[in-house]
Amino acid sequence: MKKNGHFFCLLTILLSGVLCAADEFPIAAAKSRVVMARNPKAINERNQANQQETTRLFDSALTALTGEKSAADSWRALGLRPEDTVAVKINCNTWTIDLSPHPELVNALCRSLQAVVPANRIIIYDNESAAMEKSGFAINRSENGVRRTGTDQGDGFDPQERLTTIVTRHASKIINLASLKCAEGDLVASLLFKNHIGSLIPEDMPKCHNSHEFLAGVSARPSIKNKTILNIIAGLRGTYRRGVPWYWAGIILGTDPAAAEITAIDVMNAKRAAEKVPALPIPEYLKLAEAQFDLGTMDHDYFELVRLDL
Amino acid sequence: MKRDPFIYGIIIGLLLLVSGGVIRASAPDRTMPADLVPQGFAASGLEERYGTPELKLENGSIFDYMDGGGIVYLEHGFSEIIHREFTDAAGHRISLDIFTMDTATNALTALSDERISPAGGIPLAIEVTNKSYRFPPDYFIYLVHGQHLIYLHVNDDGLADTLNQFAGALLNAETEEKQ
């Protein structure tokens, strides 16, 4: 059969178009969303949160993230089912200035979750019960209400994953609720990835301070990677330099931990630029989380940032 | 490890008195002399001691106390920290941390490291090198004496004067101890 040059040219163009589209479509379809929401009325200059305004902040951010109209639809879109048990990892390290998440924000989250799951299937946890109590989260291991517990309360640790059994056995879904905290030094920041140090068996915790690879790898362990449905960075009050707080009055929400983490570093760097402080570098653990552990992207071209100012 | 007299002045009761003059590795309870503690405040909880990752003390290493931020202190020759808290009936909390570094020079360089004591600290009119910070509602002071970096914090900056006086009382205790 005689081959026509024009036909092959046309075919080549068409095939190239199809291949290009096939190459680009999955990226566009997989593009996750990060919501950066602020509400100055949610916090005052004495670190006192307003419950109503904090709830409004959280609810608005959640629906902006999912594009749904209600909390129930939003949680369902994130994969939450009525039979689930949700563990929420908070960071109650209160050394020097208190940067624990405000109880008002955790209340807003729990209230929202109850659109799908009952209160008693929500577990708020950190590693130290005493630190939780000091941050306003009274331990509650009863059958009534939202459960609040420390990994030091005897639930044990999974021998394979070396994580608290709250994560490996009790919870079917996980929410990582970190604080907007600048660490500087080697680790740069204490955000989502560092938050899960508190999910580790205690003897492994110091390993995170010596190895970025170990730290990034914690979030890649099956129970954390497969069960996490939402990442939140609480920044009603945060730090942009180590030990220097400011009332950012916002929260960051995302399903992609690397994208949410780099957004938080961007927030700190914007404040640092305003204060004429050199920018924070991208932490090594975050580069490894993206490149080695497939824990999301920090490339701004590959996630959609939604800004919400209430 | 060599200690200068100041550490004994500050923690005179914390370490020695209750234990009858014998330093114990894990004394269950120690008290600070009442006249040093700000009026209306009382010791809350037990004293805590943390060492290095290689040489942990009763409560573990510095990472057990302050998480990853401890790395910065290790860079300045940190060897141990003693932590104590005092509370009042209104829920105010004062924290006292005494960091021991390997040399007096390292204690001073730790104070000048902005990862430990941020820029913008205002020196108080007391006889030792210090910086104070007001970040409402927090107020805190770093001061250096010998090989010790001392941190005082109160969770209500309305009590800044109380904390300043506490710092002064600790320094006076050192002077009396010397005499």
* ipTM, two decimals: 0.78
A183 chain-B contacts, CB cut-off 8 A: 68-69
Which member of A205, A243, A245 has the closest CB to residue B63? A205
Distance CA A27, CA A78 (A): 19
Q: A179, A239 in Cβ contact below 8 A?
A: no
A208 chain-B contacts, CB cut-off 8 A: 68
Q: Which pLDDT score, from 0 to 100, does residue A30 have?
A: 62
Tokens standing for residue B66: 């302050």
Q: Which pLDDT score, from 0 to 100, does residue B20 have?
A: 32
Picking from A257, A226, A220, the residue whose alpha carbon sits closest to that of residue A79 is A226
DSSP per residue, B7-42: HHHHSIIIIIITTTT---TT-S-----TTTSPTT-E
State the DSSP H helix or E strand holding residue A24, giving kind and residue range, or none if neither: helix A5-30
Per-residue pLDDT averaged across A165-172, rounded? 98
Which member of B71, B138, B140 has the closest CB to residue A209? B71
In chain A, the percentage of residues whose pLDDT exceeds 70 is 90
Which member of B71, B133, B153 has the closest CB to residue A186? B71
* The dihedral sign for the CA sequence A40, A191, B93, B153: negative
Interfacial residues of A (vs B; Cβ cutoff 8 Å) = 45-47, 93, 95-98, 183-187, 190, 194, 197, 205-206, 208-209, 241-245
Contact flag B135-A194 (C-beta cutoff 8 Å):
no
pTM, two decimal places: 0.86
Distance CA A185, CA A88 (A): 28
Q: Which pLDDT score, from 0 to 100, does residue A3 have?
A: 45
**Distance between alpha carbon A202 and the CA centroid of its chain, in Å?**
22
- Which one of B67, B72, B81, B138 makes the best mutation probe of the A interface by having the most chain A beta carbons within 10 Å? B67
Q: E strands, A121-270, where? A: 122-126, 147-150, 173-179, 181-184, 188-190, 228-235, 238-241, 244-246, 250-254
Contact flag B118-A209 (C-beta cutoff 8 Å):
no
Interchain CB contact of B65 with A (< 8 Å) = yes
Which member of A45, A96, A209 has the closest CB to residue B63? A209
Question: What stretches in chain B show pLDDT beneath 50?
Answer: 1-5, 8, 12-29
Cβ count within 10 A of residue A307: 11
Nearest CA distance, B19 vs chain A (angstrom): 26
Q: Which pLDDT score, from 0 to 100, does residue A23 have?
A: 44
Q: B144, B150 in Cβ contact below 8 A?
A: yes
Q: Is the pLDDT of residue A28 over 60?
A: no
Q: B80, B50 in Cβ contact below 8 A?
A: yes
Distance CA B132, CA B153 (A): 10
Interchain CB contact of B117 with A (< 8 Å) = yes
Cβ count within 10 A of residue B8: 16
Q: Is the pLDDT of residue A22 over 90?
A: no
Q: Is the pLDDT of residue A66 over 70?
A: yes
Which member of A98, A187, A244 has the closest CB to residue B118? A244
B53 chain-A contacts, CB cut-off 8 A: 206
Contact flag A206-B63 (C-beta cutoff 8 Å):
yes
State the DSSP H helix or E strand holding residue B95, giving kind and residue range, or none if neither: strand B93-101
